Structure 1
Amino acid sequence: MKDVLAVVLAGGKGTRLEPLTRDRAKPAVPFGGCYRIIDFTLSNCLNSGLRRLLVLTQYKAMSLDRHITLGWRDYFCRELGEFVDVVPPQQRIDEQWYQGTADAVYQNIYAMEKERPKHVVILAGDHIYKMDYSKLVAYHEQQNADLTIAALKVSRDEAQSFGVMQVDNESRVVGFEEKPTEPKTVPGSDDECLASMGIYVFNAAFLFDELCKDATLPNSAHDFGKNIIPSIINTRRVFAFAFLDENAKTQAYWRDVGTIDAYYEANLELTNVEPELNLYDDRWPVRTYQPNLPPAKTVFADDDDGQGPRKGEALDSLVSHGAILSGGIARKSVIGPGARINSYAQVDESILFAQVNVGRHCRIRRAIIDKGVHIPDGMEIGYDHDADRARGFTVSEGGVVVVAKADGLLSTS
Structure 2
Amino acid sequence: MKDVLAVVLAGGKGARLEPLTRDRAKPAVPFGGIYRIIDFTLSNCLNSGMRRILVLTQYKAMSLDRHINLGWRDFFCRELGEFVDVVPPQQRIDEQWYQGTADAVYQNIYTLEKERPSHVVILAGDHIYKMDYAKLVQYHEQQKADLTIAALTVSKEEATAFGVMQVDSEQRVIGFEEKPKDPKTVPGEPDDCLASMGIYVFNAPFLFDELCRDATLPESAHDFGKNIIPSIIDSRRVFAFPFRDENKGTQAYWRDVGTIDSYYDANLELTNVEPQLNLYDDRWPIRTHQPNLPPAKTVFAAWEAGDDDTVRRGEALDSIVCQGAILSGGVARKCVIGPRARINSYALVEESILFAGVNIGRRCRIRKAIIDKGVHVPEGTEIGYDHDADRARGFTVSPGGVVVIAKADGVLPIN
TM-score by length of 1: 0.99
Cα drift, residue 250 of structure 1: 1.1
Instruction: State whether structure 2 residue 232 is matched by structure 1 residue 232.
Output: yes
- Which runs of structure 2 are paired with 1:161-240 in the superposition (5 Å)? 161-240=161-240
Cα distance in 2, alignment partners of residues 192 and 38 from structure 1: 28
Partner of 1:80 in structure 2? 80
The residue type paired with residue 367 of structure 2 is R
Cα drift, residue 12 of structure 1: 0.2
Structure 2 alignment gaps of length 5 or more: none
Cα drift, residue 408 of structure 1: 2.1
User: What SS does structure 2 have at the residue aligned with 1:202?
Assistant: strand
TM-score by length of 2: 0.99
Cα distance in 2, alignment partners of residues 361 and 250 from structure 1: 41
Instruction: State whether structure 2 residue 266 is matched by structure 1 residue 276.
Output: no
Cα drift, residue 378 of structure 1: 0.2
Cα drift, residue 302 of structure 1: 2.4
Cα drift, residue 248 of structure 1: 1.4
Instruction: State whether structure 2 residue 120 is matched by structure 1 residue 154.
Output: no
User: What SS does structure 2 have at the residue aligned with 1:68?
Assistant: helix
Partner of 1:114 in structure 2? 114
Instruction: State whether structure 2 residue 378 is matched by structure 1 residue 366.
Output: no
Cα distance in 2, alignment partners of residues 309 and 195 from structure 1: 51
Task: Tell me the alpha carbon deviations over residues 347-397 of structure 1, each in whole angstroms, 9 at most, x when there is no partner.
Answer: 000000000000000000000000000000000000000000000000000
Task: Tell me the alpha carbon deviations over residues 154-191 of structure 1, each in whole angstroms, 9 at most, x when there is no partner.
Answer: 00000000000000000000000000000000000111
Instruction: State whether structure 2 residue 337 is matched by structure 1 residue 330.
Output: no
User: What SS does structure 2 have at the residue aligned with 1:199?
Assistant: strand
Task: Tell me the alpha carbon deviations over residues 15-61 of structure 1, each in whole angstroms, 9 at most, x when there is no partner.
Answer: 00000000000000000000000000000000000000000000000
Cα distance in 2, alignment partners of residues 28 and 357 from structure 1: 21
Cα distance in 2, alignment partners of residues 114 and 286 from structure 1: 30
List structure 1 runs of 4+ shifted beyond 3 angstroms: 303-307
Cα distance in 2, alignment partners of residues 386 and 250 from structure 1: 40
Cα distance in 1, alignment partners of residues 292 and 217 from structure 2: 51
Task: Tell me the alpha carbon deviations over residues 85-118 of structure 1, each in whole angstroms, 9 at most, x when there is no partner.
Answer: 0000010000000000000000000000000000
Supply the RMSD in Å over aligned alpha carbons: 1.0
User: What SS does structure 2 have at the residue aligned with 1:41?
Assistant: helix
Partner of 1:288 in structure 2? 288
- Which runs of structure 2 are paired with 1:243-322 in the superposition (5 Å)? 243-303=243-303, 308-322=310-324
User: What SS does structure 2 have at the residue aligned with 1:174?
Assistant: strand
Partner of 1:347 in structure 2? 349
Match of 2:411 among 406, 409, 413: 409
The residue type paired with residue 394 of structure 1 is T
Cα distance in 2, alignment partners of residues 406 and 20 from structure 1: 11
Partner of 2:125 in structure 1? 125
Percent identical pairs in the alignment equals 83
The residue type paired with residue 95 of structure 2 is E
Cα distance in 1, alignment partners of residues 249 and 302 from structure 2: 41
How many residue pairs align between the two structures? 413
Cα distance in 2, alignment partners of residues 112 and 76 from structure 1: 18
The residue type paired with residue 73 of structure 1 is R
The residue type paired with residue 83 of structure 1 is F
User: What SS does structure 2 have at the residue aligned with 1:196?
Assistant: strand
User: What SS does structure 1 have at the residue aligned with 2:316?
Assistant: strand
The residue type paired with residue 411 of structure 1 is P
Cα drift, residue 412 of structure 1: 4.1
Instruction: State whether structure 2 residue 47 is matched by structure 1 residue 39.
Output: no
Cα distance in 2, alignment partners of residues 190 and 251 from structure 1: 20
Task: Tell me the alpha carbon deviations over residues 131-150 of structure 1, each in whole angstroms, 9 at most, x when there is no partner.
Answer: 00000000000000000000
Instruction: State whether structure 2 residue 14 is matched by structure 1 residue 6.
Output: no
Cα drift, residue 406 of structure 1: 1.9
CA contact (8 A) 1:303 1:310 kept: no
User: What SS does structure 2 have at the residue aligned with 1:267?
Assistant: helix
User: What SS does structure 2 have at the residue aligned with 1:7?
Assistant: strand
